[in-house]
Structure 1
Amino acid sequence: MLKKIIKSYDYTLIVPIFLLCLLGLIMVYSSSMVIASSPKFGDPAFFYERQKISLIVGTLAFIVAMIFPYKIYASSKVLLAIVFGSIGMLLLVFGFGHSANNAQSWLNLGARGIQPSEFTKLSVIIYLAAVYSKKQSYINRFKEAVLPPILFTMTICIFVAIQPDFGTAFIIGLIAIFIILCSGMNMKTIMKLVLLVLITAAILLPVIMIKSDEIFSDERMGRFAGFLDPFGEEEDHGHQLVNSYISLGAGGLTGLGLGKSIQKTGYLPEAHTDFIMAIIAEELGLIGVIFVLICLTFIVLRGFQIARKCSDPFGSLLAIGISSMVAIQTFINLGGLTGLIPITGVTLPFISYGGSSLLVLLLSMGILLNVSMFTNYHANYSNKEQKPQKQNIHQFTRKHASFK
């Protein structure tokens, strides 16, 4: 049985995941070595070493999640622990968190920090997948099936947005929409949900207008100004986007060479986090960009394929949620550095510097691999193992019929 389980793992999915992680580790070192050499950090490998530790811990989490049966996450006790753990961590941020990039979204754990909102993404995916899979028999009953999970998701999004981390709150909301659309609800129920969202938005509009000075701060409005007219705001809010364009265009087909980026020397802020793809384009060229995009696209499409093949509603919705998380985060990151959407501070999956993000992504991929393993195992071996049993029953029946 163990041999059959090992054969059932999707190794074609494991390869691009760790190719991206290794490339990300190399590019974190390359893109951060200049800023890491400054007196503030004092070590060219400062960010590289921290990312390497995150990758090791994330790999261990990946292996455990890959082996651990995913159905246990849907049990009542585990689900309650996930729900209250997520809310508890977000509340701890308000009391004991520290600020980074104008958002109080971090908790210090000794020398390292974690970002609870990153873990909340996976928590929401598990919760929504578990709840909607259990309510399949009455999925269109609005009050009993649809509304409670939505209220939980909205609460999480509000807590994250208050930090403020609008980018992560937006991602969580979009992931929830993907899971809801694939949960089996009919169009009538979905339209009720849309109406509820519109009514909620209308109720919140006066609050938004009262708090407009806080919500629409100069910093946030500056991001929109930089997005709409980056070259007109080149000396201020458009500085990052303009230098991203320069970096994207400088590499050509093959790039300037690994480690030879000019923009990372102080022209492009956040080169090792939100704008690491621009450095990849500059140093590795179009070839490097295409390689990253192919790997990410393969992971997302493979995840949706796993969801389609999985006969278990919980496993299928888990795969949809995890795949949509990678797809949404990739789109928002690349959209920001190319000027398609305003910059939101979202990292590029598996590539950008960020321990919490990498750990959650690898943990999520481990869960996805486990869903895939069970799906492949049941498709390839369960039916075959049942056939001899059926044959033996028929033989037993015929044998005893002959005595009559």
Structure 2
Amino acid sequence: MRRKLHYLNLNILIPYLLLVVFGIILVYSASSVILLTNGFKPDFYGVRQAIYAAVAFFGFGCPFFALKLEVFRNKKFVLWFLLISLILLAFLVLMKFFRGSSAAVNGAVGWINLGFINLQPLEIAKLALVIYLAYVLNKRDGKFTYGHVWQNLSHPAILTGFMMALVIVEPDLGGTAILFMIALVMFSVSGVPTKLALFWLISIVVGVLAVFFLVIKLNPKFLQDNYQFQRLLSFLHPFALERKGGAQLVNSYYAIHNGGLFGVGLGNSMQKRGYLPEPYTDFILSIAAEELGAVGASFLVFLLFYLMWNIMEVGIKATSQYNALICFGVTTIIFTESVFNIGAMLGLLPITGVTLPFVSYGGSSMIVLTACIGLVLNISANEKIKQAKDDNVA
């Protein structure tokens, strides 16, 4: 453990810690007025976010950093972790069918209430999928030649598809897209021929756009009362549909406009006072843009991409295929969540309910993402130790 600490990657740890600290401050700022108005302590969500961060760091981040990497490569660990995530996702599906709309939040059944925390199985599934795919694809390294690609990818592809099916039933389109992106990226960097990987990517993009424009063009009646479909229409016509679901995006625009370059000051946002729904979760970056300005919000985005860049660098330099795949998978989680959240805030992408990594309020997300960071720091330290040994031998 002491040796690993000597090789701790500060280029990953420092931006992670800064994002978490900024997140706690912004969660408190974005939620305090609403809480006070409703008769609660103004620091309720801020304190809980700080507790989540501490539990995540000491209970998951540190152990994931301290454990031997062989633990995560162990077949029993991989399969049990994957099985638990699938059971939790299946439980949500059962909740949807047996409890119906009474179990739904914002049109989806995505949480299991444990009292002290609302457990979000999707967050666990993301990390479980990364570890599973890294294990399987590492075992099949060198076998992805033309004519043998599907033979070697069929089992992980089918399992990923099953996991995505469980999530889309909730329904959670954002979560389904994140799982899909994890699989696509990890398949593509595992040794699949480049031309084939590009063909997959282009085909998928064209297919998604075709379905998107077809649904909008036809505007089917059976989707008129669907919450996700209304979000899609609101993305296209936010001001025309402000009273029917466009209020989030419209007020996000107002928040960004109000903030200008340097913001109105921490705690002085107007949009968090009941105008912008979910100000401390989905749209926390809008509040950051209003209070800290474009400069402050851009700094948060910079920290996220700086963190991703350094995780990618560890993966690129890794001497082990397994280590590289883990790093690419973790980067995909953070990147996809960031793009979906920032895109929704700016009106460039439909609102999917995806939160901003390390910054938005949420215990499950904080714990899993911190575990991801701990695992990457573990890989980085081990790679540096191996490099030091090789240098000494040379």
Flag whether TM exceeds 0.5 (same fold): yes
Q: Matched residue pairs, number?
A: 375
2:80 counterpart residue number = 81
2:279 counterpart residue number = 271
Displacement of 1:228 in angstroms is: 1.2
Paired with 1:276 and 1:313, the residues of 2 have a C-alpha distance of 36
Judging changes above 3 Å, is the alpha-carbon distance between structure 1 residues 76 and 241 closer, same or farther for their aligned structure 2 residues? Answer: same
1:285 counterpart residue number = 293
Residue 167 of structure 1 pairs with residue 145 of structure 2? no
Displacement of 1:355 in angstroms is: 0.8
Paired with 2:276 and 2:327, the residues of 1 have a C-alpha distance of 36
Over aligned residues, Cα RMSD in angstroms?
Answer: 2.4
2:61 counterpart residue number = 62
Give the TM-score of the pair, scaled to structure 2: 0.89
Contact 1:29 1:48 (8 Å CA) reproduced: yes
Paired with 1:187 and 1:239, the residues of 2 have a C-alpha distance of 43
Contact 2:164 2:176 (8 Å CA) reproduced: yes
Letter of the aligned partner of 1:8 in structure 2?
Y
Letter of the aligned partner of 1:71 in structure 2?
E
Q: How does 1:86-101 map to 2 (within 5 A)?
A: 86-96=85-95, 98-101=103-106
Identity %: 32
Displacement of 1:42 in angstroms is: 2.1
Paired with 1:306 and 1:336, the residues of 2 have a C-alpha distance of 29
Letter of the aligned partner of 2:243 in structure 1?
E
2:22 counterpart residue number = 23
Give the TM-score of the pair, scaled to structure 1: 0.87
Letter of the aligned partner of 1:33 in structure 2?
S
Residue 14 of structure 1 pairs with residue 13 of structure 2? yes
Judging changes above 3 Å, is the alpha-carbon distance between structure 1 residues 299 and 371 closer, same or farther for their aligned structure 2 residues? Answer: same
Judging changes above 3 Å, is the alpha-carbon distance between structure 1 residues 352 and 197 closer, same or farther for their aligned structure 2 residues? Answer: closer
Q: How does 1:152-231 map to 2 (within 5 A)?
A: 152-187=159-194, 190=197, 217-231=225-239
Paired with 1:337 and 1:250, the residues of 2 have a C-alpha distance of 14
Which protein has the larger Cα radius of gyration, Structure 1 or Structure 2? 1
Paired with 1:291 and 1:187, the residues of 2 have a C-alpha distance of 34
Paired with 1:215 and 1:127, the residues of 2 have a C-alpha distance of 35
1:113 counterpart residue number = 118
Q: How does 1:329-348 map to 2 (within 5 A)?
A: 329-348=337-356
1:3-62 deviations in whole A, cap 9, x for unaligned? 5432211012101101110110010010011222244x6222221222122111111111
Greater mean alpha carbon deviation, residues 75-84 or residues 301-310: 75-84
Displacement of 1:332 in angstroms is: 0.4
1:51 counterpart residue number = 49
Match of 2:263 among 255, 267, 277: 255
Judging changes above 3 Å, is the alpha-carbon distance between structure 1 residues 228 and 55 closer, same or farther for their aligned structure 2 residues? Answer: same
Paired with 1:233 and 1:292, the residues of 2 have a C-alpha distance of 30
Judging changes above 3 Å, is the alpha-carbon distance between structure 1 residues 197 and 299 closer, same or farther for their aligned structure 2 residues? Answer: closer
Letter of the aligned partner of 2:381 in structure 1?
M
Contact 1:96 1:107 (8 Å CA) reproduced: no
1:249-268 deviations in whole A, cap 9, x for unaligned? 11122211110000000111
Contact 1:94 1:163 (8 Å CA) reproduced: yes
- SS of 1:20's equivalent in the other structure is helix
Displacement of 1:363 in angstroms is: 0.6
Paired with 2:63 and 2:269, the residues of 1 have a C-alpha distance of 38
Structure 1 residues without counterparts, runs of 5 or longer: 388-404
Displacement of 1:99 in angstroms is: 2.7
Contact 1:104 1:163 (8 Å CA) reproduced: yes
Paired with 1:293 and 1:352, the residues of 2 have a C-alpha distance of 13
